[in-house]
Amino acid sequence: MPHCFAQDAQDAIDLHIIESPSLEDWLAGQDGATGDWVRLNGFSGNLGQTLLVPANGDRAVMALAGYGTAAKRARTHFPLAAAATKLPGGTYRIASGLSGDVAETECLGWLLSGYRFDRYKSKSDKTVALVPPHGVNAGRVTILAEAETMIRDLVNTPASDMSPQDLADAATALAHSHGAEITTILGDELIERNFPLIHTVGRAAATPPRLIDMRWGERGPKLTLVGKGVCFDTGGLNLKPGSSMGLMKKDMGGAAHVLGIARMIMAMKLPLRLRVLIPAVENSVSGASFRPGDILASRKGLTVENNNTDAEGRLVLADALALASEDKPDLILSMATLTGAARVAVGSDIAPFYTDDDADALALSASAARVDDPVWRMPFHDAYESKIEPANADLDNAPSGGFAGSITAALFLRRFVSDARYMHFDIYAWQSVNAPARPRGGVGTGARAVFDALPAMLKL
């Protein structure tokens, strides 16, 4: 991540962040030569504009960053990042124009504006450093940026290099770096240990299915994060068309997100007992594939009529949620790239979530607004329970009709949670077009909001 916080403020260039309606007021306080230079170069304060103002010789005495209007800023998550990417390499110090209430988010955007998924490309050597503004916790912002970078890198990595084994390796590296314990239940051992749904979904792949189990912390409330780790999803025997399969490397986005949240928690040393469960599989096609119409057993004892092999994410999560409940945590939170219905409802930028706890919903919504990581509460609508109850088994993984697909998926998952507060996120984990600090590709959605809300939800 070539954009960073400066370790040394010496020789930093003063950066003035200027809203377009305030440009003339700002110029009124400058000398005539500066005003002439700004006008000559056509700087208007539009969002993303930059301008270096020289002193004697070539050295810049200051830099200007356009901050546009409030209406324009509302259309992007990290407005200052639009300018940060255009500044030449160097160290900058914010001299004016950034209010304290958005400083942390804008500093995070500054760091993330340097993100590139360059694992397979030549790397940039340009560094644009920022002196942390007064009142901004640079250590916290760096942790958030590193966690977001990890989420993006995991999602962006193609399935050829992000198999269930690779995902387990990434989780293991994270665990070891923070002193967490980690175990893996692999292949046929899943049957022996009573995780039949995880085994069923992953048994057709060349890389065996597994359940990753990470624990950290010795005191405080118990939090269990469960992330969907479908490293590639062909759709199984209900094969996806090619147009729908192209992005299925991101179907482990839920796993990437819970690992990112775990990284934030462990790096910030929150006083809680954390558990992370990731069922890691590939949904592939072979003679061992599970079939439409199969009646499947689950860890909880509920049977599932499999009416679509492309509704596999809720199956692997079901066994993991049943295990999570056995530990009686204070909160279980699952994240999954689960349904297209959620995208139709709220698009790619908003993380829809489900909970029966009004206080948790309010805390999460407040955090989402504070850190500019939008979420939206969806209903566990009990009247739709009958839609997930087929004739031949306890549950249906793919109700017919096409309506309320995200809700019925959430209701399905809730059936596997016992005696615990539960929150579920149906996320997209992908940025479809380039935006400031959010290039096209994998992206965190809801992770920062969750992390910010944990102290309120768990009374830390």
Q: Which two tokens stand for residue 341?
A: 């219905």
Which residue, among 337, 335, 287, has the nearest Cα to 312 in the 3D structure? 337
Q: How far apart are the first and last CA of the chain?
A: 31
* Catalytic site includes residue 240: yes
Contact 111, 141 (CB under 8 A): yes
Catalytic residue among 73, 228, 314, 438: 314
CA–CA dist 301, 309 (Å, integer) = 20
CA–CA dist 159, 248 (Å, integer) = 8
Residues with Cβ within 8 Å of 303's Cβ and at least 6 positions away in sequence, in order, are 295, 296, 297, 393, 394, 395
In the three-class reduction of DSSP (H, G, I as helix; E, B as strand; rest coil), residue 233 is classed as: strand
Side-chain half-sphere CA neighbours of 389 within 13 A: 6
Buried b (16+ CB within 10 A) or exposed e, 11-23: ebbbbbbbbbeeb
Contact 278, 167 (CB under 8 A): yes
CA–CA dist 215, 171 (Å, integer) = 11
CA–CA dist 450, 88 (Å, integer) = 34
Q: Which two tokens stand for residue 453?
A: 């809300």
* Catalytic site includes residue 249: no
Contact 78, 106 (CB under 8 A): yes
Residues with Cβ within 8 Å of 361's Cβ and at least 6 positions away in sequence, in order, are 353, 355, 377
Catalytic residue among 72, 116, 140, 240: 240
Q: Are strands 50-54 and 60-68 parallel, antiparallel or unpaired?
A: antiparallel
The residues carrying an active-site annotation are 240, 314
